[in-house]
Amino acid sequence: MSKEDIGITVAKDDDFSEWYTQIVLKAKLADYAPVKGLIVLRPDGYSIWESIRNTFDKKFANNGIRNGFLPVLIPESLLGKEQKHFAGFNPEVFWVTHSGKNKVGDRLALRPTSETLAYTLYSKWIQSWRDLPLKINFWNTALRAEIKATKPFLRTSEFLWQEGHTVHATKEEAEKEVMKILEIYKKMVEEELAIPVTTGKKSEKEKFVGAVYTTTMEAIMPDGKALQMGTSHFLGQNFSKPFEVKFADKDNVEHFAWQTSWGVSWRLIGAMIMTHGDNQGLVLPPKVAPIQVVIVPIYKKEEDKSKVLSKVEEIKKNLEPDGIRVYVDDRSELSPGYKFNDWELKGVPIRMEIGPKDIEKQSVVIAKRYNQEKSSLNVTEIEKIPQMLDEIQENMLNAAREQSMKNTMNIVNYPEFTSKIESGGFFKAAWCGKVECEEKIKEETGADIRVIPFGSDNTSEKCVYCKEQSASIPIFARGY
């Protein structure tokens, strides 16, 4: 028996980091690549990413966004066009300096993000108001030198993501786009991955380099650390001016365009693992599960085999027209107990067990992964399975919301802040709006402003750090 076959050997509450890594590897979502900082997606892991991608593609298309493709290499001369933006990424950039034995001349960056490349092209594609709005999404990999503290899906040197880049004739239209995208992100993460998020703005200090402002969605993980789930940026004209993204209006007067950019990455998969997993392994929300129902036939006598397998095939055929992803585990060399543990580790939402006695009673045994509940279901009620999957999806989101609420605290003074930060969580605390206080809190506690929730403006409290009049009630936390 290989190490891969052994179940999770640490408890979630005892060693969260090791527990997480074991699930990624043993549930066969991903594995480590030969190059430090890189991972390989296995079929189940990629299937979850495809599900995320397909959902976004539908939502993007409904918003008039189309997909394109960008190359991974960016000339250094292009990156220098927006110095402030590129300076934020420079320490993380991988460089290509040679082609074979020959120097390439202008160094080529392996894409850390695509603003500079996309907007060089946009300046060619946009000439008049008729070309606007231009709304393109790119499914790419990005590369950033995360070598020291890597963790699968959460922090790797290469990662899968989508990055959208839109161009508009007016500031108002661009700002509406920023909020539309943030709402698309929120709905997808909550409705498909069953992870509750808080939306709002980043502080000036934490915003995307080159943006006028950054909107974000943040989630609190069960270990008390925050995870940024996605961002949508209003770029204003900060890129259109250096890259000359201009258009002629109906009166043939030339204007600089208004822009947005936005993205999520496969860290959504990491968040899903951490939020829902338990000591037995992965727990998958039904909407993104590669397999939603696994059927395990059980028989000891050879004469029972054909009868059981025939009933299993009948049930499978009844489920598939409803779009349910069904898999029959007919591996004869493995015991039913081994199979049960294997599918629990892989997080399949519903396990169905069928043996000779079940056939006699015209029933099947149903085991729900998320709460370990087992029950009998009459074979005439198989049509209830889609409803059951919907209920599991809803209950998983409700449980995650409950966990998030337990991990969210209102903090009224700084001693309380410093005493509780070690235990982790979302800390709602008044802030004066000054970067000096923000930096001091980060320096002294390791917590930063994760999000300033929409509607959290407040001038009636006192800043948790300096005791001056507050400007808002942001959420502070230590993060991944």
Mean pLDDT of 337-357: 97
Q: How far is CA 364 from CA 295, 356, 385, in A?
A: 10, 10, 12
pLDDT cut 90: percent of the chain above it:
90
Instruction: Write down the pLDDT at residue 88.
Output: 58
**Residues, the chain:** 480
Band (pLDDT 50/70/90 cuts) for residue 48 is very high
Q: If you average pLDDT over each of 101-105, 109-113, 446-450, which comes out highest?
A: 446-450
Measured CA to CA, the distance from residue 197 to residue 397 in angstroms comes to 11
Instruction: Write down the pLDDT at residue 153.
Output: 97
CA-wise closest residue to 465 among 402, 407, 418, 398: 418
Would you say residue 6 has pLDDT above 90?
no
Could you tell me which residues come within 8 angstroms of residue 172 by beta carbon, excluding any fewer than 6 positions away?
none
Q: Which residue has the higher pLDDT, 93 or 346?
A: 346
Measured CA to CA, the distance from residue 201 to residue 216 in angstroms comes to 6
Residues 358, 296 contacting (CB under 8 angstroms): no
Would you say residue 4 has pLDDT above 60?
no
What average pLDDT does the structure give for the chain?
A: 94
For residue range 404-459, what is the model confidence (pLDDT) as tens digits? Answer: 999 999 999 999 999 999 999 999 999 999 999 999 999 999 999 999 999 999 99
Would you say residue 168 has pLDDT above 60?
yes
CA-wise closest residue to 181 among 169, 198, 206, 163: 163
Instruction: Write down the pLDDT at residue 92.
Output: 84
Strand segments (E) across 267-379:
293-297, 326-328, 350-354, 363-368, 374-378
Instruction: Write down the pLDDT at residue 87.
Output: 64
Instruction: Write down the pLDDT at residue 82.
Output: 61
Instruction: Write down the pLDDT at residue 3.
Output: 44
Measured CA to CA, the distance from residue 428 to residue 202 in angstroms comes to 14
Measured CA to CA, the distance from residue 340 to residue 294 in angstroms comes to 10
CA-wise closest residue to 221 among 185, 269, 275, 264: 275
CA-wise closest residue to 480 among 149, 158, 231: 149
Residues 226, 202 contacting (CB under 8 angstroms): no
Question: Cα angle vertex 361, ends 356, 367, to 5°?
Answer: 75
Structural domains in the chain, CATH included, are 3-276 (3.30.930.10), 291-387 (3.40.50.800), 408-477 (3.30.110.30)
Instruction: Write down the pLDDT at residue 418.
Output: 97
Instruction: Write down the pLDDT at residue 301.
Output: 85
For residue range 68-102, what is the model confidence (pLDDT) as tens digits? Answer: 999 999 998 888 776 665 565 667 889 999 999 99
For every residue of 182-210, DSSP letters joined together read: HHHHHHHHHHHS----EEEE--TTTSPTT
For residue range 285-342, what is the model confidence (pLDDT) as tens digits? Answer: 999 999 999 999 999 888 889 999 999 999 999 999 999 999 999 998 999 999 999 9
Mean pLDDT of 14-28: 97
State phi, psi for 253 to the nearest 5 degrees: -95, 130
Query: What sections of 407-430 are H helices per DSSP?
Result: 414-420
Mean pLDDT of 356-385: 95
Instruction: Write down the pLDDT at residue 382.
Output: 94
Question: Cα angle vertex 227, ends 260, 171, to 5°?
Answer: 15
Would you say residue 163 has pLDDT above 70?
yes
CB contact burial 252-290 (16+ within 10 A = b; e otherwise): eeeebbbbbbbbbbbbbbbbbbbbbbbebbbbbbbbbbb
Would you say residue 360 has pLDDT above 50?
yes
Whole-model pTM: value is 0.95
Q: Is the peptide bond before 133 cis (omega within 30 degrees of 0)?
A: yes
For residue 260, the surrounding DSSP H or E stretch is: strand 258-265
* Three-class DSSP labels, 359-385: HHCCEEEEEECCCCCEEEEEHHHHHHH
